[in-house]
Chain A
């Protein structure tokens, strides 16, 4: 049996350079008894379905409806997040940052791609790419403006460069027009980008009608 034959059966178009290298590497490591392909399948399922921004949205929605939870989240984010059943790799030392009418927080990792996996999942391409990593610390207002967020001069912008083990979750402002909404309803409107600090959540005027 050769990997090439497997590949021809499994795919109807040629694999690209890195795809071939990864396939060869997985075959080698499996043959050497260093990895078990079933564990790889399990890992991929975890990253594709179990973790993701839907977890962070639960945290934000709870903080919006429960002032005591919000206080716990802001003073000890790790424990508060764990209350909702989330935790693990790349989320061991969490910090929550509250966006207010006076302060806008935005998170970056200029050196690599540090990101709070348990609550937001794996980072999107733009977060890991050179334009964001390079510019977030020197021109955050420019990035925000391009993404449709105009901040008045009297709003303080705080950029958090994830250079160590701390992982940051932005608690976005709750939009007006959501008074009386359930926690589940609120979780539906919390976006990934609002929890990184590059988006706000618009009042749901159209959504409600």
Chain B
């Protein structure tokens, strides 16, 4: 989706302001919503790509006005209702219409193992790679209504394969239907001038990690 979350190259937001001695969370509710997201994710009703797509569906004006954890709260409420863990009425009223026996809930004693358990999208399956390091490629000009990890600023641009990272779950299908469609993902180097024009410093480059379905041979 050509959403407002796809910020790369947008201008006019002002300077980057770094807060000194920043706390991990700025208030107790931020910590709670982060933990609720992890604990709810443990129930297995969605994957990380669905989580990202839920936040991306916030209206553009609301997205830009919201703090980071307000976006997380919106995404979590959206997923909980869409994936059937709670109903819209329960969310609105705050009262449970029915209850579970609690057996599925993440326990405190399981938290360290839960953190350490790999949930990488890497899949150890042998698949032929369409590209190798040094190959010239073009990022496809696609504008899907669903989730994608191909930013607008790279679409239609020429780059060079820097590295084959191996086989990973494809987010575009994973976010919509949970179909993993595993495929090679590549580190692709784009000259800054290719992306931003001749006024850009000639040596500079931007690297993106892009799946095979985002790329054509140049």
Residues of chain A touching chain B, judged by Cβ–Cβ distance below 8 Å, are: 3, 15-16, 18-19, 21-29, 31-36, 38-44, 46-48, 52, 87-89, 92-93, 108, 110-113, 121-122, 124-126, 128-138, 140-141, 143, 146-147, 153-166, 193, 198
B209 engages A157 (CB within 8 Å)? no
Decide yes or no: A29 and B120 within 8 Å by CB, A42-B108, A111-B5 being known contacts: no
Query: Which single member of B7, B29, B118 contacts A18 (CB below 8 Å)?
Result: B29
A-contact bits for B99-117, CB 8 A (1 contact / 0 none)? 1111111111011100111
Which residue of the partner chain A has the closest CB to B185? A164
Collect the chain B residues with CB atoms within 8 Å of residue A157's CB: 192, 201, 203-205
B105 engages A89 (CB within 8 Å)? no
A47 engages B94 (CB within 8 Å)? no
The reply on B50 being an interface residue by CB < 8 A is: no
Cα distance, A77 to B52, chains bound together (Å) = 26
B17 engages A126 (CB within 8 Å)? yes
Q: How many B residues touch the partner, as a band?
A: 35 or more
Collect the chain B residues with CB atoms within 8 Å of residue A31's CB: 95-96, 99
| Nearest CB of chain A from residue B86's CB, rounded to whole Å | 6
Which residue of the partner chain B has the closest CB to A168? B207
B77 engages A110 (CB within 8 Å)? no
Cα distance, A15 to B108, chains bound together (Å) = 26
A93 engages B207 (CB within 8 Å)? no
Query: Which single member of A113, A165, A193 contacts B168 (CB below 8 Å)?
Result: A165
Cα distance, A186 to B112, chains bound together (Å) = 28
| Nearest CB of chain A from residue B125's CB, rounded to whole Å | 15
Query: Which single member of A25, A34, A129, A165 contacts B105 (CB below 8 Å)?
Result: A34
The reply on B136 being an interface residue by CB < 8 A is: no
Cα distance, A89 to B29, chains bound together (Å) = 22
